[in-house]
């Protein structure tokens, strides 16, 4: 099988526009890019995503991965993103089976705040088994939050984007392997999923961080990538919580600076300052 051919079509991520503020001043204000990107698989139109365009090829691959339209990165021969036509042309080694049928099913299960496949994903939840022989320490968490804080460049300048990070922990040291921002939190997580395929990264000992809320789909996607640690700056929803319980994922919300709320999967979390907490968890 030949190597994947892939474009590198990152967009300019912010532009400046004039805005009038409450003091009557006209300010040059950076705003985040947002561009339609229509995905074609073997010349068949699949979907149009609105994206910042930071990692468009990874987004396309991760979208196909998370929608279960492609089963392995090795099945993809080529990904060409072309911003002249706002399109991403994906070529597979052999045509995807039952694409019409699977697209049809997708239609009726589009969910989220109107996001992505729902029914199929729920079916997979109970088959997911996350690693139990890995742990996240409180100081490792704090180091991760500090590393993330330094990375969020588009958000800091322009707002209106969500960021996702995939991190490797070695003891208490947190290293960010990938960091992607996008206008939608689902795009950001899909792009991370694409980068994991492209770089052959095993999720089973990694930490997934998102600035976005922990809704059902965010938890499902993290668990499907076999990632045992899910950390968010934001809050969570009831279904996000229920799915986290079912998968046993270690999930922390409201994680900013030295604050956090640990919701599920306490067995993998090590609170060094008071190790007796572990026994009660």
Residue 272 binds to a second copy (criterion: CB under 8 A): no
In the range 104-143, which residues lie near a second copy by CB under 8 A? 104, 106-116, 118-119, 138
The angle formed by the CA atoms of residues 119, 121 and 124, to the nearest 5 degrees, is 115
In the set 9, 99, 103, 147, which binds a second copy (CB under 8 A)? 103
Q: How distant, in Å, are the alpha carbons of 26, 42, 122, 180 from that of 195?
A: 40, 21, 24, 10
CA 251/CA 219 separation, integer angstroms: 9
Q: Among 144-152, 166-174, 196-204, 208-216, which window interacts with a second copy (CB under 8 A)?
A: 208-216
User: Would you say 208 or 269 has its CB closer to a second copy?
Assistant: 269
Cβ distance 90 to 79 under 8 Å? yes
Residue 35 binds to a second copy (criterion: CB under 8 A): yes
What one-character-per-residue DSSP string does 191-230 give?
HHHHHHHHTT--GGGEEEEESS-B-HHHHHHHHHTT--EE
Q: Among 2-10, 28-36, 69-77, 193-201, which window interacts with a second copy (CB under 8 A)?
A: 28-36
In the range 142-201, which residues lie near a second copy by CB under 8 A? 158-160, 162, 182-187
User: Would you say 160 or 177 has its CB closer to a second copy?
Assistant: 160
Give the E-state strand segments of 83-151 in sequence order: 87-92, 136-137
Residue identified by tokens 């072309």 is 82
Q: Among 2-10, 71-79, 203-211, 228-236, which window interacts with a second copy (CB under 8 A)?
A: 228-236
Q: Among 91-99, 125-133, 195-203, 253-261, which window interacts with a second copy (CB under 8 A)?
A: 253-261
């Amino acid at each position: 099988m030949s190597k994947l051919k892939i474009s590198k079509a990152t967009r300019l991520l912010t532009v400046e526009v004039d805005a009038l503020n409450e003091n009557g001043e006209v300010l040059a204000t950076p705003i985040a890019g947002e561009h339609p990107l229509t995905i074609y698989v073997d010349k068949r139109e699949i979907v149009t995503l609105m994206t910042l365009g930071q990692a468009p090829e990874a987004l396309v691959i991760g979208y196909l991965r998370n929608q279960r339209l492609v089963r392995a990165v090795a099945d993809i021969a080529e990904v060409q993103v072309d911003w002249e036509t706002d399109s991403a042309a994906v070529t597979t080694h052999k045509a995807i089976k039952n694409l019409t049928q699977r697209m049809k099913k997708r239609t009726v299960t589009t969910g989220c705040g109107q996001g992505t496949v729902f029914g199929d994903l729920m079916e997979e939840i109970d088959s997911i088994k996350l690693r139990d022989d890995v742990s996240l320490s409180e100081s490792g968490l704090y180091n991760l939050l500090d590393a993330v804080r330094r990375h969020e460049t588009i958000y800091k300048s322009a707002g209106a984007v969500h960021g996702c990070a995939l991190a490797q922990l070695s003891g208490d040291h947190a290293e960010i392997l990938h960091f992607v921002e996008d206008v939608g939190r689902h795009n950001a997580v899909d792009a991370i999923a694409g980068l994991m395929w492209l770089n052959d990264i095993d999720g089973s000992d990694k930490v997934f961080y998102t600035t976005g809320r922990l809704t059902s789909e965010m938890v499902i996607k993290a668990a499907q990538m076999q990632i045992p640690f899910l950390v968010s700056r934001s809050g969570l929803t009831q279904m996000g919580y229920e799915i986290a319980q079912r998968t046993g994922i270690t999930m922390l919300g409201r994680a900013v600076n030295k604050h956090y709320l640990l919701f599920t999967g306490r067995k993998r979390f090590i609170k060094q300052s008071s190790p007796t907490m572990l026994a009660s968890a």
